[in-house]
Amino acid sequence: MTRMLHARSHAWKLKEPFAIARGIRSEAQVVIVELHEDGVTGRGEAGGVAYHGETPASMLAQIEQVRAQIERGCDRQQLLQLLPAGGARHALDAALWDLEARRSSVPVWQRAGLRQWTPVDSAVTIGIRDIAGYEAAARARADYPWLKVKVGKGSPLAAVAAVRRGAPHARLIVDANQTWSIEELRQYVPALLPYGVDLLEQPVAVAHSAALAGYDGAIAVCADEALSTLEDLPQLIGRYQFVNIKLDKTGGLTAGLELAHAARAAGFRLMVGCMLGGSISVAPGMVLAQLCEVCDLDGPWLQAEDWDNGIVYQHGRMSLPTLWG
């Protein structure tokens, strides 16, 4: 066996500036990994976790640290011991899964032990904007099954009402990215009920998660920033009803599947999410989506450019990827 590793950074342009409570981005910066082995190529891609301090440069530096082991034939389980959870490990893990699938002619979802593949319907995100913009964006996506509404500090009611006017039938996720207090959460939930909101994603700061222990609101709360890896799971029990698993945070599909099974065993309902990035970055998440109730894998959909033969979104429904896995 002869294996060669190639890694580089890349920037995908977005369709429009993407605004959330933490800031605004106009491009998706990623690292891309290729593993060439005996005429077969496996690919991986990752955006990393910016709020953990990850950048393309830091991820590439981590990848270089383990180049020798990877090229000597390191497998996915060994990779878990070589690198910490994060974007670098996600990109390498994805490339190893892809390489295995292509060498064996067995798709990743089967190699992951799943019994069947079902279509994946992803939420698509409406970033922070003015009220008229929320309604216009929702109207343009009115036939999508799920919409995620990004909001910031202060009452979300006007934004959510605008989205509901534009998309009367879509299921809604409201994501405040840690900007509300527990008191505001309790205040907003009854007011949001008439708009049919299905899920609140990380409304309060991670540091205030303990205050959710007594939360009995009618809208389920999902941990996002509060969950990265399996080690975080115990402290979320009794505080959140859902957990959002992102492979950039778990450090790849291998660890993500382990976390998903453990979370289900602990009584959590599951959501799969993603960071900004192209089709190869989210394709492993489509495997994890087979175990999840809620899917938010719209990274490539938000981009103005993507891989050739990338994932196609038909009103939120994602095509089975052919370029990976």
The domain that holds 93 is classified in CATH as: 3.30.390.10
Contacts (Cβ under 8 Å, ≥6 apart) of 120: 286, 289, 290, 295, 297, 317, 318
- pLDDT band for 21, please (50, 70, 90 cuts): low
As a whole number, the mean pLDDT across the chain is: 95
If you average pLDDT over residues 23-36, what whole number do you get? 90
Could you tell me if residue 65 is inside a domain?
A: yes
Mean pLDDT, range 60-75, rounded to an integer: 97
Residues 258 and 158 in one domain: yes
Is residue 113 included in any domain, yes or no? no
Q: Would the pLDDT of 19 be above 90?
A: no
Burial class (CB within 10 angstroms; exposed 0-12, middle 13-18, buried 19+) of 324: buried
Of 55, 79, 106, the last residue of a domain is 106
Q: Please tell me whether residues 210 and 309 are part of one structural domain.
A: yes
Catalytic residue among 148, 153, 246, 249: 246
Domain membership flag for residue 325: no
pLDDT at residue 20 in the model: 77
Residue 197 in domain: yes
111 found inside a domain = no
Query: Known binder of ligand: residue 175?
Result: yes
Q: Flag whether pLDDT at 272 surpasses 70.
A: yes
Q: Global pTM?
A: 0.95
pLDDT digits (tens, 9 = 90+) for 88-121: 999 999 999 999 999 999 999 999 999 889 999 9
Contact assessment for residue 233 and residue 243, using Cβ atoms and an 8 Å cutoff: yes
* pLDDT score at 301: 95
Give the model's pLDDT for residue 92. 98
Span 52-65, average pLDDT: 97
Do 59 and 91 share a domain, yes or no? yes
**What is the average pLDDT across 174-191?**
95
pLDDT at 17 over 80: no
What's the total number of domains in the chain? Answer: 2
Q: Does residue 284 sit in the same domain as residue 165? A: yes
The CATH number assigned to the domain holding 167 equals 3.20.20.120
**Would you say 93 is a known binding-site residue?**
no
**Of 72, 106, 140, which marks where a domain is finished?**
106
Q: Which residue has the higher pLDDT, 20 or 209?
A: 209
Q: Which of 57, 75, 106 is the last residue of a domain?
A: 106
pLDDT in tens, 220-248: 999 999 999 999 999 999 999 999 999 99
In a domain, 236, yes or no: yes
276 and 215 in one domain?
yes
Mean pLDDT of 72-78: 96
Pick the residue with more confidence: 19 or 8?
8
Question: What was the pLDDT predicted at 23?
Answer: 73
pLDDT score of 185: 96
Catalytic hit among 13, 15, 150, 249: 150
Residue 225 and residue 192 share a domain? yes
**Tens-digit pLDDT profile for residues 139-153:** 999 999 999 999 999
130 annotated ligand-binding residue: no
Give me the domain span that covers residue 200: 120-318
Tell whether 265 is covered by a domain. yes
Q: Judge if 213 and 296 occupy the same domain.
A: yes
| pLDDT exceeds 90 at position 320 | no
76 in any annotated domain: yes
Instruction: Check residue 283 and give its pLDDT.
Output: 98
Domain shared by 129 and 192, yes or no: yes
pLDDT number for residue 25: 77
CB 121 within 8 A of CB 316: yes
Asked if residue 39 has pLDDT above 70, the reply is yes
pLDDT of residue 217: 92
260 and 125 housed in the same domain: yes
pLDDT of residue 22: 72
140 shares its domain with 276: yes
Give catalytic status of residue 246 as yes or no.
yes
Identify the band that residue 302 occupies on the pLDDT scale cut at 50, 70 and 90.
very high
Both 167 and 210 in one domain: the answer is yes
pLDDT above 70 for 171: yes
Let me know whether 83 and 51 are in one domain. yes
Is residue 249 part of the annotated active site? The answer reads no
Q: At residue 257, does pLDDT exceed 80? A: yes
